[in-house]
Amino acid sequence: MKLVVGLGNPGEKYIATRHNAGFMVVDALAKRYDIGIDKVKNKSLTGKGIIAGDQVIIAKPQTFMNLSGEAVKPLFSYIDINAEDVIVIHDDLDLDFGRIKIKSGGGHGGHNGIRSIISHLGKKDFIRVRVGIGKPPPRWNVSNYVLSPFAADEREELHHILEKSADAAEAIIADGSLTAMNRFN
């Protein structure tokens, strides 16, 4: 079994923001496999289904980003899986807009959602699908940038980027992280 977690912030005002890229990707992935993400479990909206022959739970933590670990830890414990069976999809300021990078393990890279998950799990060796949102323009506050909606020109490409990110998550499930890294990084 795999746990696929998309990071974001709950609430209507955050739906189309850069910080919710993880939510958007898991929504795209769930739609492909007709998995409803509509059950509330352990501070998350969850859905269960089969992807590439593996049973998966898709989760969207309903804590704010900085508290993501509070939702991921109980799901992780409930499912009783290894950290390598957890795939976390999140926005990344350090990647150009639209770039996708798969990473296995490592630090939080300044991302507060990842920091919270590492802190609560006590493990770093889960898999991440990093979705590039680019750096803020000069004089922009980082928090304001990640909580702002995508620009008009970015929205034109967004669907393709979300689908490609969902492809990456699907490849991890089907072929393992190393093969997926070779294909997408």
Residues annotated catalytic, as ranges: 19
The answer to whether 130 and 88 have CB atoms below 8 angstroms apart is no
Distance CA 43, CA 34 (A): 22
Beta strand ranges found along 105-170 (DSSP E): 127-132
> Which region, left, alpha or beta, applies to residue 176 given φ > 0 means left and ψ of -120 to 50 means alpha?
left
Quick check: 39 and 10 in contact, CB under 8 A? no
In a 3-state reduction of DSSP, which class is residue 166? helix
Which H or E element spans position 170? helix 152-175
